[in-house]
Amino acid sequence: MDSASRLSTADRRRLARGLPALREADARAIGRFIDAAWAEHGLARLTQDAYRRDLEQLARWRDGAGGGLEGADRQALFEYMRWRATHGYQPRSNARLRASLRAFYAHLVRAGVRSDDPAALIDPPRLPRPLPKALTESQVDALLAAPDVEVAEGLRDRAMLELMYAAGLRVSELVNLPANAVNLRQGVVRVLGKGGKERLVPLGEESQHWLERYLAQARPQLAAGKPVPVDAQGNVPLFLTPQRHAPTRQAYWQALKRHAAVAGIDPRTVTPHGVRHSFATHLLNHGADLRALQLLLGHASLSTTQIYTLVAREHLQRLHARHHPRG
C-alpha cells in the first residue's frame, strides 16, 4: 500500500486545498500525549479533541520543520502565534492554543523527550472584558410591572423582581433568602453571599411596599395554612411556591423570561444576572460611589466592580455624542 492510499479522507481534503497532511511522527507524538493526559488526569473527551485540533494545526503549519512538533523551539511557537494573530484567529482561540501547547510540552519534559519547555514563557493573549448586558431603566420599569399581582404567584414574582433590582441580588441569593432576612422596619435585607460572607443592603420604598403586600397577601395563600418546611440550612424560606418550598433558580429564570415577553422585551436578552447588572449600572449612571457599589454587590475585590465603570462610561459617551454641540 503506497503512502497516498494510507491518507485519511480529511488529509486528502487538506491536500486538495494545498494544506500538508499530518506527518506520521507528529501524529504519534500527539497520540502519546493524548493517551498520557487521559491516563494521568482523566481528560474529558471535548478537551482531548481541542488539544488534538490545536496540535495538529501547529504540526501542519510547521510541516516537519526543525524536528516537527517535538523539536519546535520557543521562537517557532512565537512565530506561529504571530501568524495566527495576522490571520483572523480570535483571542479566546489563541488562549486555548496556549493551554494546549503548555500541556503538550510539559508532557514532553516529564517523559524525558525534551529538557526544556518552549511554551513556558508564552504570554496569554489579552482577552476582551465582556461588558454586562444591562436593561434600560424603561425596560426595567416594564419588567417590574409585568407580573399579574392579582394572583398569589404573580404578587410573589413582583416582590422578587422589585427586591432583586432594589438590592442587586444574585439569583441564588434571592431564591434562598430566609424569611427572617428582611427587616421592613429598618428597611434592610441581610444577604448571605459568596464564600458565606454576609452583607446588609438597604431597600427602597417600592421594594418594601411590594414585600409588605407579598407577606400580607400572597405568602399566606401559598402556604395554605400549613407549616412551611425548613430548607437544608434549617431556615424557613421567604419566597414560596404552591408546594411551600423556595423557588429554584431554574424556575425563577423561566418566570423572568415569561414576564419579559409580557413587557415586550426579547426574553433571550433577559437573565437574572442581567437584572443585577442593571441595578449596578443604573446606580453608577446616577452618581453612586464605586466602593459603595462594591459593598452593595458583595464583591470581594474592587476590580470586579470596576467593570461597571466601563458601562457607565459608554452611557456618558452616548449622552455626550447626542447632546454636546461638538459631540
Active site residue 45: no
Q: Among all chains, which residue has been given the C-alpha cell 473527551?
A: 45
Catalytic residue chosen out of the listed positions 107, 259, 276, 282: 276
Catalytic residue chosen out of the listed positions 6, 12, 13, 273: 273
Give the Å distances, CA to CA, from 154 to 87, 260, 317.
53, 13, 38
Residues 6+ apart with CB under 8 A from 166: 203, 204, 206, 207, 279
Active site residue 214: no
Catalytic residue chosen out of the listed positions 110, 194, 313, 318: 194
Active site residue 273: yes
CA dist 62 and 37 (Å) reads 23
Q: Are 270 and 254 in contact (CB under 8 A)?
A: no
Residues 6+ apart with CB under 8 A from 66: 72, 73, 76
Catalytic residue chosen out of the listed positions 170, 219, 277, 282: 170
Active site residue 194: yes
Please report how many Cα atoms fall inside a 13 Å half-sphere around the Cα of residue 112, on the Cβ side: 0
Rounded to the nearest 10 degrees, the angle between the axes of helix 91-110 and helix 74-85 is 160
Q: Are 68 and 23 in contact (CB under 8 A)?
A: yes
Catalytically active residues, by annotation? 170, 194, 273, 276, 299, 308
